[in-house]
Structure 1
Amino acid sequence: MKKILVTGGLGFIGSHTVVELQNAGFEVVIIDNLSNSKIEVLDNIQEITNKKPEFFNIDLRNKKDVKHFFNTNSIDGIIHFAASKAVGESVNIPLEYYENNINSLVFILQEMKNHKISNFIFSSSCTIYGQADELPITENSPIKPAESPYGNTKQIGEEIIRDASKVTNINAISLRYFNPIGAHESIKIGELPIGIPQNLIPYITQTAMGIRKELSVFGDDYNTPDGTAIRDYIHVVDLAKAHISALKRLIDKRNNESFEFFNVGTGKGNSVLEIIQKFETATNVKLNYKITDRRAGDVTAAYADVSKIQKELSWQNEKTLTEALISAWEWQKSVK
């Protein structure tokens, strides 16, 4: 049984991936500093899978603690989620984003080199493409200057991994996510932002619950059919399963290069107003929303070409947008 370290494993995408890893027979160790997650998630993972992952509360910015962990634990592979991840917030506090997202990555890669750990999955983002000239976005689309410090940390992160993989034993796959939404079908784990949500769906569900007075739609003057920004929304369980496919590719040594990268999305784009309408239809709940100014760092439209991941990893999304929205709503009602 392979032992996989999942950093940020109590977060939204991380917790769903831990579930899928354990369901697939992997042994899981989680590192999380609980800065944007809750320890109760650990028990919820156990309820779903009947197995409790090993857990370490470590801040990966602390090089000494990172070194100690790797000196005292044997690991077969790493899925690295731990990072600050809000586009808008990163514009306001860029130095915190660079410290957290870059330093933690470098410290982990150094220990992988020292301990000859070869399998590494990187949590990347479609933000690395900036505003693409053509849609859908393929992996060959140019990497433009990032629209936000968050996006820039993902660009820099991929460059660091590429350089490291050339001269070490590290084999890496970078998964460039589009917009993960939804919750596990058990409704025991889901997206649980601390403070004001930075992503659309939790803001929608909190507004529907009355936790937020109204939903702000950032801009209706984009060059899109209804003027609002378009994104590719993927169910988080489908995204989690993509990590399993990528990990197995590395473990089985089926990778073609030491550093590979894949888009993970549905291949379809939906505007903010379309998401609002689909949520209202699926849940029979009316949303109070208003149009406000554009938000710094946001691009007009982004949706994926997923033909490469379908071909190379034999992966494709299975769950619908409506299923994702309903699960997000059920999750919100369960956490009040």
Structure 2
Amino acid sequence: MAAFNLTPSDMSTFILNGIPGLEAAHIWISIPFFTFYIISLLGNVTVLFVVSKEQTLHKPMFLLLCMLALTDIGMSTCIMPKALCIFWFRLKRITMDGCLTQMFFVHAVPAMHSAILVIMAFDRYVAICDPLRYATLLTNARIAKLGLVGLIRAVILVLPEPMLLRRLPFCAKRFISHTYCEHIAVVKMSCGDTTVNRMYSLVITVVNIGLDLTLIGLSYGLIIRAVLRISSKKAHWKALNTCTAHICVVLMSYTPLLFSALTHRFGQGIAAHVHILLANLYLLVPPMLNPIIYGVKTKELRDKVGKYSCRM
């Protein structure tokens, strides 16, 4: 610890401690983390490569998959390089600007990811409830515009967080018990009044997660109503089967996020290392599993991936 004592010249520096209580196991913890990260990169880069190469996949659904793959890469990449530096080389220092930049991406990229899941739910709603107008309602250009709206929303929502933090005074001991600059973990380092920061963080969580889950739930409510009006059981299954991949991705994305957020705010009895592990896993596990889920459930994509795999 003495090696990381801050001098007056280091007042613009934070120290990321990794996972407190598990320092001796950092190398072992890094093995599954690194494995998840590599699988995530390979899976999502494969999706991007195959869709970009295949003209037949230049459709709204696959454009959305590419957007999802980009956010998946961003979610894991914004935390893993620094976490691995901590685990492998004990490089724990991070500048104030670096910390605030990482914090912005840690929150903005998942917000964009959530927006894409909402657009995908709308895509499934139109495909099942109004299939005759699907080609005219959801063009590639319109999907791109919706994605841009999601990006702008994420930036507008998240940008005030690091800006509000920059105005706060920080204590001499700037040791963050985390592997990355998570907002609340940094807020705890401040010696000033953090009420506004905490309230804004809560508002973002409620607005982002609450609104997006409501829109996704509304889409599936309308989908189920439309499916129940179909008399054929076979048609029921076929219609719902087109949604299974998206439902799995939604569950994989929101379940660990909600669990992590709830335990962080209300689970005072839970050990600190459990909070930190959950906060890392919700940014690592969904990006790793999403391309696998869509690769298995989407026949067109699975066939094209198989074609390129056979060429190698």
Task: Tell me the TM-score normalized by structure 1.
Answer: 0.22
Larger Rg: 2
Structure number with the higher strand fraction is 1
Structure number with the higher helix fraction is 2
Higher RCO (CA-CA < 8 Å; seq separation 6+) = 2
